[in-house]
Amino acid sequence: MTGASTGIGEATVRALRGGGWDVVAVARRAERLAALESETGAVAYAADLTVPADVDALAEWLDGSGPVHALVQVAGGARGADRVEDGRPEDWRWMFEANVMATQRLVAALLPLLRRAAASDSHADTVFVTSTAAQGAYPGGAGYNAAKAGESMLVHALRLELNGEPIRVVEIAPGLVHTEEFTLNRLGGDRAATEKVYEGVEAPLRAADVADVIAYAMNAPGHVNLDLVTMRPVAQSAQHLLARGPLRVKGE
């Protein structure tokens, strides 16, 4: 379980532990993982998934810790909201590394372990949290659009490549989710700008909403694969169409 120190990742650790799963919680921030470990009973493992040696070390550690029945890849993120002409190459490069290359490294490193578990226990799971940003562009989103579209295509190709093997490949693509850090980090720590993103939106998604869907996908009967779940708050009908203000029945 990656991205476990905050937001959707942290919420998913709680949801899976509540459902009886043994969870290895992976993220960069060891201190936050330690608190989560103490609270939930998940096993903390600190790693930076953009560093190949960290991914290799994680795979080696998992190989010695017991069977690996699932990979839940939540880690990733966005940097900046610049127009294409103003985009910072270092931000775009980081987004590709964090969202695409980290995912590829994880799959390559953990697939042998997942296959071993599937061979003895009928199936294994891979679950990837992408974004509706992978499905439609928006001004100021090109870098993140491109990175998440790349990750989404990786997932689609993986599902085809694993055809005939008892390994589920699930993609969860959330729209607007109000978490403590995602937009704040994207906007360079600007809290006022961050709050404007959610201003007036009735009931944006919360991390726990996404975690519930991930847990549902993993707990579904082994022959059922949720290829792609796109989820948005009711106030967001499309990537570009977001209602601000109370939701009301027409005519009232």
For residue 224, pLDDT over 90 is answered with: yes
Confidence bin at 109 (pLDDT 50/70/90)? very high
In angstroms, the CA 221 to CA 238 distance is 30
pTM recorded for the entire structure: 0.96
For residue 252, pLDDT over 90 is answered with: no
In angstroms, the CA 147 to CA 141 distance is 10
Give catalytic residues, as residue numbers: 144
CA 102 from centroid of its chain's CA atoms: 12
pLDDT of 69 reads: 97
For residue 3, pLDDT over 80 is answered with: yes
pLDDT of 239 reads: 86
Q: Are 24 and 1 in contact (CB under 8 A)?
A: yes
First CA to last CA distance, the chain: 45
Buried/exposed code over 92-118 (b: 16+ C-beta within 10 A; e: otherwise): bebbbbbbbbbbebbbebbbebbeebb
pLDDT of 191 reads: 94
Tokens of 12: 């998913």
Tokens of 33: 């993982």
Q: What is the mean pLDDT of residues 216-235?
A: 97
Residue type at 30 in one-letter notation: A
Note the pLDDT tens digit of each residue in 8-27. 999 999 999 999 999 999 99
Map out the domains of the chain with their CATH numbers. Answer: 13-23+52-199+207-242 (3.40.50.720)
Note the pLDDT tens digit of each residue in 40-74. 999 999 999 999 999 999 999 999 999 999 999 99
Tokens of 230: 């796109």
Confidence bin at 86 (pLDDT 50/70/90)? very high
pLDDT of 240 reads: 86
For residue 241, pLDDT over 80 is answered with: yes
